[in-house]
Amino acid sequence: MKIAGIALSSPDKRLFPGVKVSKEDLAFHYECVAFRMLPGLKKRLVSLVRCPDGVEEPCFFQRHGGKGMSDAVARLAVREKSGEEDEYLHIDDLPGVIAAVQLSTLEFHIWGSRIDRLDAPDRLVFDLDPDESLDFTAVRSAAFVVRERLSDLGLETVPLLTGGKGIHVIAPLVRRRDWRDVKDFARGFATRLSREDPARFLAEASKEKREGRVFIDWLRNDRSATAIAPYSTRAKPGAPVATPVSWSELETVPAANVFGLKDIRERVKKTDPWEQSRTWRQSVTASMLNAVTEGGD
């Protein structure tokens, strides 16, 4: 069978056996959400989580081209810090997404910049990653604190349910700053918040120190770092989907993995919860950087 012109071999192969989701089901999911997903996916370098034998078997992470990769998935030669070049992947249309599904891709992870200006980020992401002892209420509460503090500094945000246990708090940016400035701001913000509320927040990626707290993962704000793409499935039991929500909706959402394929088909028929953010024109300013660094107000 073909979807978006891409042939699917073994379309009835179960990629999520527990909920009986096949390769065909997954392809239809992306066909359904393409009009919402592609604006945030296209013209970005992408890393794929591929699970050739389904979610219950070993998976692997792929960000470079290689044998067997369809020409529908685009490539870009990128110069590394070492000075050498390597070939990275990006997906700009539905055929590219379906070609990745044909290779049993269960997750799409995106860079924070577009391929025309890789050193100019257009999004700031804080991944709120809770200690295993915390319930979702604690994560949700932490997200609202992060939202409020960023708003106080002048940055408006949108929330993404990751499909796992956490929430991404995302600030869309105009491309005025380079990665160094955005990373410095993210680090400074997370560090300052963890110092002001050490019982709730941690700015270090340490499992041992995380007990009872939420790690504000600011490390996703770097040139080659990635974050899960909105509307991507997750390689987890139940085939949960990383789902954009509004802040008002987040107040009552019971978990970060609550939405599955059927739920998303109904959600995309309604107003985009991030629609308003498409018109925001904001950036990390010098005063914001000063406010989150040592000696800032």
Report DSSP letters for the chain, one per residue. -EETTEE-SSTT-EEEGGGTEEHHHHHHHHHHHHHHHHHHHTTSEEEEEE-TT-TTS--EEE-B--TT--TTSEEEEEE-TTS-EEEEEE--SHHHHHHHHHTTEEEEEEESS-TT-TTS--EEEEEEEE-TT--HHHHHHHHHHHHHHHHHHT---EEEE-SSS-EEEEEE--S-S-HHHHHHHHHHHHHHHHHHSTTTEE-S--TGGGTTSEEEE-TT-STT-EEEPTT-B-SSTT--B-EE--HHHHTT---TT---HHHHHHHTTS--TTGGGGG------HHHHHHHSTT--
Task: Note whether 270 and 284 are same-domain residues.
Answer: yes
Task: Note whether 80 and 202 are same-domain residues.
Answer: no
Task: Note whether 96 and 223 are same-domain residues.
Answer: no
What is the per-residue pLDDT for 97?
Answer: 98
What is the per-residue pLDDT for 65?
Answer: 83
Low-confidence stretches of the chain (pLDDT beneath 70)? 294-297
Task: Note whether 235 and 123 are same-domain residues.
Answer: yes
What is the per-residue pLDDT for 67?
Answer: 78
Range of the domain at 247: 117-297
Q: Which residue type does 46 have? A: V
0.85 exceeded by the pTM? yes
Task: Note whether 53 and 128 are same-domain residues.
Answer: no
What is the per-residue pLDDT for 297?
Answer: 43
What is the per-residue pLDDT for 129?
Answer: 95
Task: Note whether 58 and 202 are same-domain residues.
Answer: no
Last residue of a domain, one of 77, 111, 145: 111
183: nearest Cα among 107, 95, 112, 93 = 112
Task: Note whether 128 and 215 are same-domain residues.
Answer: yes
What is the per-residue pLDDT for 294?
Answer: 67
Q: Can you give the CATH number for the domain in which 273 is found?
A: 3.90.920.10
Task: Note whether 76 and 133 are same-domain residues.
Answer: no
What is the per-residue pLDDT for 209?
Answer: 81
What is the per-residue pLDDT for 83?
Answer: 81
